[in-house]
Structure 1
Amino acid sequence: MYTFIVGVILLIVGYFTYGKFVEKVFGIKEGRTTPAYTHKDGVDYLPMSTTKNSLIQLLNIAGVGPVFGPIMGALYGPVAFIWIVAGCIFAGAVHDYLTGMISIRNRGAHLPELAGKFLGNVMKHVVNAFAILLLLLVGTVFVTSPAQLLYNLMDGWTTMGLIVGGIFLYYILATLLPIDKIIGRFYPFFGALLLISAVGVGVGLVVKGAPIPELSLSNFHPDNAPIFPLLFLTISCGALSGFHATQTPIISRTTQSEKQGRKIFYGMMIAEGIIAMIWAAAAMSLFDGYGGLNEMLAAGGPAGIVSEASTAMLGAIGGTLAILGVIVLPITSGDTAFRSARMIIADYFKYSQAKITNRLWIAIPLFVISFALTKIDFTILWRYFSWANQSTAVIALWVAAMYLFIANKNYWIAMIPGIFMTATVTSYILNAQIGFGLSLTVANIGALIVTAGITALFFSAAKKARAQNLPLEEDISFYNKTA
């Protein structure tokens, strides 16, 4: 119990301390006009309040990841708490904040465009394809997972096909309509439901004295399961997730002032970390140890854990509300995944999205492909999603490190987690059956070599970019409120 409580406290303290430090390193300009005003189009670019932006950002980034990921990560034991806390403060929230703020400085640009500007045109094309693939996988996963939860909750009142069709219909509307029509209007209520349900489960764990295991040398993780690299891909959302880099530009286009960035980007990642801590603790403590957790996962998957834990902590009515809060998570990330994909493709081809017909030409093929992907086994999709997700985080962290290096600022805040995650995703793909299938020892050695090479290439490219005085932001002097 103490490990859990201390972890939550550290996350909150991290927002007020390290979050403030990262903001100072970046150097906000309160008088600089944001893309919400300079590129206002009434569809994707328009100013919204800090509260709305914060809750939308939280729901954008918090798919099933901070629930399902920590539940599966609980099998590694209390070490999962360390990764959630340290990963969130020093990697995930830094990743989200810098991605969002650099996007604001560059007309709300998405990751492919930022990668092209700071890492070269070849990377722009690579990241563009990579981001679209990731978003399609996310959108598809976030159709099937909430559909299963709803199907379980409704206890056979309807069919899975009808539920999936209803979710797709909602996604189409949320992808095509201006951001303030559905997302801006309903997300604050969804966000409140999410926070209340998560806090309810967390308070229930503490009040009822759930036997949450403490971190110790003898109980570091069960069965000596190899932590590296699997833990860092199993728990992504809630600690560090590249999916967030595809979502923050949605809100960078609606943010009113740079001073709001720490609350919106860094703060909402901390909130997601707290949600992850709660569900990891619930999974570790409510099912008679790791053997019971394994049996529950085999029987009903993470969705079954959510249902059982919610009902155990909050009763029938409160448990149902908690389950609804979890259902909201993937749905409110799936819709913005498709919206992000539409925006990235439109930016890539410089295709205006002011007219709904232009949006349809991009959106319809995306939904057709996603529907086809729903026929693939969920576990296979999730494996590829996990690797693609963390690889995207790696790219975003290197982009942020390059930006700070050129600006003569402390680039290590992005580079250190970037180096660590480069080694992680490389080791995973070299070792995994979906990759090269090498032994873990060989994979780790290969990962060290690849990471060293990428780091050397980074310094070479960064020094050239600094010498060439690469512009770091869009020139909007005409709009600026102050010089």
Structure 2
Amino acid sequence: MSLPLLLLLSAVILTVAYFTYGRFISKKFEIKNDKPTPAHLQADGVDYVPSNKLVVLGHHFASIAGAGPIVGPIIAVTFGWIPAVIWILIGGIFFGAVHDVGSMVASLRHKGKSIGVIIHQYIGRSGKRLFLIFSFSTLILIIAVFADIIAKTFVKNPGVASTSALFIALAVAFGIFNRKFAHNKSSFTWLSIIGVCLMYYFVILGNSLPFELSYVFGWSFYLPMLL
């Protein structure tokens, strides 16, 4: 099967699942669009900030990707591309989506609290501690693998290290300017356009100003970013 056909087929399956199985899950969780979220009920401009649904989608999309760039290639190399694609489709629809929706709904119905706090409320302190230990250990393993891969990439491609550092600086600057100056849709749009243009420029600039790193320094450079 050709790659374009595989991508098209996967996109169709995920789209159909979104409008069918997604609607089924919404009914099971009794999700209602007219019910205000903690971001509105407890808005404080810091931890609870009402945001556009596309912004929320962007944050969640970045979060759910998680270990996918690590686990996906490993599964493909070990078992072949067919099991990897099946896992992406079946696992993403029937495991990943339900898990994430369930977690978000639980948080929404407990004033935006984290899963650890919710577990403490229903299971107790021991359950909360066990969950947090497991989560922390899992994150450490994921971060270690990410840092190892990125450190090797930075050493082999110094321009990538420069571009990554510039991207981080741009992200911080974008957040500050968005909070301080983007008070309406027009200013946010212009800020986004400028940000995208700078991203493309930084790709070129990063390759022009390679940041030479050793493997050890690559670790020390990237690990604090993850933490």
**TM-score between both structures, scaled by the size of structure 1:** 0.33
Change beyond 3 A, Cα 1:143–1:45: farther
CA deviation profile, 1:133-190 (whole Å, cap 9, x unmatched): 43444445444444544554xx4459x7x889x49x76xx69xx88x659x989x96x
CA deviation profile, 1:19-73 (whole Å, cap 9, x unmatched): 110001100133432111222222221000001111121122224x333322221
What pairs with 1:326-475 in structure 2 (closer than 5 Å)? none
What pairs with 1:54-203 in structure 2 (closer than 5 Å)? 54-63=57-66, 65-75=67-77, 76-77=79-80, 78-152=82-156, 155-156=157-158, 166=165, 181=179
Q: Which residue of 1 aligns with 2:21?
A: 18
Distance in 1, Cα, partners of 2:179 & 2:100: 25
Distance in 2, Cα, partners of 1:106 & 1:132: 22
Q: Which residue of 2 aligns with 1:53?
A: 56
Distance in 1, Cα, partners of 2:132 & 2:70: 27
Residue 32 of structure 2 aligns to a residue in which SS? coil
Change beyond 3 A, Cα 1:69–1:128: closer
- Report percent identity of matched pairs: 28
Change beyond 3 A, Cα 1:60–1:22: same
Distance in 1, Cα, partners of 2:221 & 2:24: 45
Q: Which amino acid aligns with 1:68?
A: I
Structure 1 residue runs of 5 or longer lacking an equivalent are 194-316, 322-369, 375-483
Distance in 1, Cα, partners of 2:101 & 2:147: 27
Distance in 1, Cα, partners of 2:96 & 2:143: 21
Residue 7 of structure 1 and its aligned partner are, at CA, apart by 3.5
Residue 17 of structure 1 aligns to a residue in which SS? helix
Residue 93 of structure 2 aligns to a residue in which SS? helix
- Is residue 40–residue 48 contact of structure 2 (8 Å, CA) maintained in 1? yes
Residue 47 of structure 2 aligns to a residue in which SS? coil
Change beyond 3 A, Cα 1:72–1:139: closer
- Is residue 11–residue 89 contact of structure 1 (8 Å, CA) maintained in 2? yes
Distance in 1, Cα, partners of 2:88 & 2:144: 25
Query: What is the total number of aligned residue pairs between the two structures?
Result: 188
Q: Which amino acid aligns with 1:93?
A: A
Q: Which residue of 2 aligns with 1:38?
A: 41
- Is residue 140–residue 373 contact of structure 1 (8 Å, CA) maintained in 2? no
- Is residue 151–residue 222 contact of structure 2 (8 Å, CA) maintained in 1? no
| Structure with more helix by fraction | 2
CA deviation profile, 1:310-330 (whole Å, cap 9, x unmatched): xxxxxxx9xx89xxxxxxxxx
- Is residue 147–residue 163 contact of structure 1 (8 Å, CA) maintained in 2? no
Change beyond 3 A, Cα 1:35–1:138: farther
Distance in 2, Cα, partners of 1:371 & 1:42: 33
Distance in 2, Cα, partners of 1:144 & 1:120: 36
- Is residue 35–residue 104 contact of structure 1 (8 Å, CA) maintained in 2? yes
Distance in 1, Cα, partners of 2:127 & 2:220: 29
- Is residue 36–residue 47 contact of structure 1 (8 Å, CA) maintained in 2? yes
Larger RCO of the pair (alpha carbons < 8 Å, separation 6+): 1
Distance in 1, Cα, partners of 2:43 & 2:61: 23
- Is residue 103–residue 110 contact of structure 1 (8 Å, CA) maintained in 2? yes
- Is residue 117–residue 128 contact of structure 2 (8 Å, CA) maintained in 1? yes
What pairs with 1:212-227 in structure 2 (closer than 5 Å)? none
Q: Which amino acid aligns with 2:61?
A: L
Distance in 2, Cα, partners of 1:107 & 1:145: 38
Change beyond 3 A, Cα 1:30–1:163: closer
Residue 125 of structure 1 and its aligned partner are, at CA, apart by 1.7
**TM-score between both structures, scaled by the size of structure 2:** 0.64
Structure 2 residue runs of 5 or longer lacking an equivalent are 183-187, 205-218
Change beyond 3 A, Cα 1:131–1:163: farther
Residue 16 of structure 1 and its aligned partner are, at CA, apart by 0.8
Change beyond 3 A, Cα 1:81–1:157: closer
- Is residue 120–residue 127 contact of structure 2 (8 Å, CA) maintained in 1? yes
Distance in 2, Cα, partners of 1:373 & 1:141: 12
